[in-house]
């Protein structure tokens, strides 16, 4: 009798009771809009921004309606204009090229390495050939490239780096928080990320001009002085008449839900990493499964795990997906020709100029992906890994 896993790969933890209580209070007050505050009163959203800035170590933070909005806002605040090329990873997800397209930019995709990070050699080539002045660096599935080398390269070429930290909130490179290397960083609090408000996001930066523009872009009207994790009033004077309002604010209800989650994030990261290490250890021993090595400089948040099946052909991958699904194990595959649910490929987005990334194609063809929600126990992960290993072995036996 084959063992079956009965857990749910899309079931997140409940909202902490403190968050539920705070949300009820906001609802009872009726003051859900972030600027609906009394004189001198700090709303939940402004408090959350202060706390998030302190957590990341950035002087400025802005809470927004989504991670994708935060990216578009950062690009627009940097001055990306219609027709401008914007470099980004070939291995990413739909909101990333989507944010580039939202400001009229042209996504220029850069190859990915077997470590699932941006290929610095290809980046150097494409900085030259594209003439792009902005790199939207996606730390896809939490894999962080050599940030020291990347920043040296981009600084030398005068390329501004916007970090997409949707999967690295709480991660770090060489002890520096993910998001603190580039000009700006964007985070998501969509349900499947590291904090859950249904939808939501953050933008952080050290650049007062960029933050002043972002605050006004987000829809602050002339109420920007109510932001405390923001630059002084002078920074706004220079930009307030020329920056359009493209509303994408966070509201106090979501902020109330997020504040206790932020306080709890370090503990959650430890829980994720415990699950990740069990999955990694288990998959390490499976024949034909190639684990992604994690560099020492990288502090990870193991909310998902990826592995490569370089010897598998398309038919074998389909067989594995079906066999695992039949036993309750939900694997995702980044090599599929058609985008499925949340999973897509750089060539799925036909609004971007057609591009060829042969090295990325080869890696994505064997790239498997699995969520590790915190509702799983380490025992659950052991069983999941046993099922994957069994089914991989089964397919190899037939071949």
Ligand X SMILES: *Cc1c(COP(=O)(O)O)cnc(C)c1O
Binding site for ligand X (CB under 6 A): 66-68, 92-93, 95-96, 138, 140, 164, 166-167, 188, 190, 193, 201
Shortest distance (Å) from residue 330 CB to ligand X: 17
| CB nearer to ligand X: pick between 218 and 288 | 218
Between residues 67 and 335, which has the closer beta carbon with respect to ligand X? 67
Residue number with CB closer to ligand X (258 or 289) = 258
Nearest to 275, CA basis, from 163, 376, 201: 376
Q: Is 163 helix (H, G, I), strand (E, B) or coil?
A: strand
Q: How far is the CB of 95 from ligand X (least distance, A)?
A: 4
CB of 67 to ligand X, least distance (A): 3
**Separation between Cα atoms, residue 318 and residue 312, nearest integer Å:** 10
Tokens of 171: 């991660």
Contacts with 345 (C-beta within 8 Å, 6 or more apart), sequence order: 334, 335, 336, 339, 364
- Closer residue to ligand X in complex, CB, 167/254: 167
Residue 112 CB, shortest distance to ligand X, in Å, is 13
Long-range interactions of 215-219: CB distance < 8 A, separation 24+: 215/62, 216/240, 216/243, 216/245, 217/73, 217/76, 217/77, 217/243, 217/244, 217/245, 217/246, 217/248, 218/62, 218/64, 218/73, 218/246, 218/247, 218/248, 218/249, 219/245, 219/246, 219/247, 219/248, 219/249
- Give me the least distance between CB of 372 and ligand X, in Å please: 15
Is the Cβ–Cβ distance between 250 and 77 less than 8 Å?
Answer: no
- Least Å distance, CB 156 to ligand X, is 26
Q: Which is nearer to ligand X, 288 or 360 (CB)?
A: 360
Q: Which is nearer to ligand X, 231 or 248 (CB)?
A: 248
């Amino acid at each position: 009798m084959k063992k079956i896993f009965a857990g749910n790969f899309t079931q997140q933890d409940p909202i902490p009771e403190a968050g539920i209580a705070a949300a009820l209070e906001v609802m009872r007050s009726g003051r859900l809009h972030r600027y609906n505050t009394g004189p001198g009163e700090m709303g939940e959203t402004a408090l959350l921004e202060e706390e998030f800035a302190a957590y990341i170590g950035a002087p400025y933070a802005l809470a927004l309606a989504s991670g994708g909005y935060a990216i578009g806002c950062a690009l627009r605040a940097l001055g990306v204009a219609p027709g401008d090329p914007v470099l980004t990873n070939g291995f990413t997800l739909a909101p990333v090229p989507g944010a580039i397209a939202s400001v009229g930019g042209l996504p220029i995709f850069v190859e990915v390495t077997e470590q699932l990070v941006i290929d610095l050699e290809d980046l150097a080539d494409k900085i030259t050939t594209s003439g792009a002045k902005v790199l939207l660096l996606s730390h896809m599935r939490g894999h962080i490239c050599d940030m020291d080398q990347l920043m040296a390269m981009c600084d030398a070429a005068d390329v501004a780096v916007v970090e997409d930290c949707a999967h690295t909130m709480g991660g770090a490179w060489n002890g520096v928080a993910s998001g603190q290397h580039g000009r700006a960083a964007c985070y998501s609090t969509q349900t499947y990320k590291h904090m859950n408000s249904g939808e939501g996001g953050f933008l952080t930066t050290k650049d007062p001009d960029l933050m002043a523009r972002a605050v006004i872009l987000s829809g602050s009207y002339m109420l920007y002085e109510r932001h405390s994790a923001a630059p002084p009033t002078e920074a706004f004077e220079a930009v307030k008449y020329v920056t359009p309002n493209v509303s994408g604010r966070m509201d106090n209800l979501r902020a109330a839900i997020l504040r206790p989650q932020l306080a709890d994030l370090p503990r959650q990261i430890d829980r994720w990493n415990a699950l990740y290490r069990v999955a990694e250890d288990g998959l390490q021993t499976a024949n034909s499964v190639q684990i992604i090595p994690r560099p020492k400089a990288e502090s990870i948040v193991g909310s998902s795990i990826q592995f490569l099946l370089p010897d598998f052909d398309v038919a074998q991958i389909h067989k594995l997906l079906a066999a695992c699904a039949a036993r309750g194990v939900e694997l995702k595959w980044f090599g599929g020709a058609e985008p499925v649910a949340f999973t897509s490929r750089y060539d799925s987005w036909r609004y971007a100029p057609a591009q060829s990334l042969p090295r990325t194609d080869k890696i994505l063809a064997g790239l498997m992906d699995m969520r590790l929600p915190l509702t799983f126990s380490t025992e659950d992960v052991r069983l999941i890994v046993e099922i994957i290993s069994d089914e991989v072995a089964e397919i190899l036996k037939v071949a």
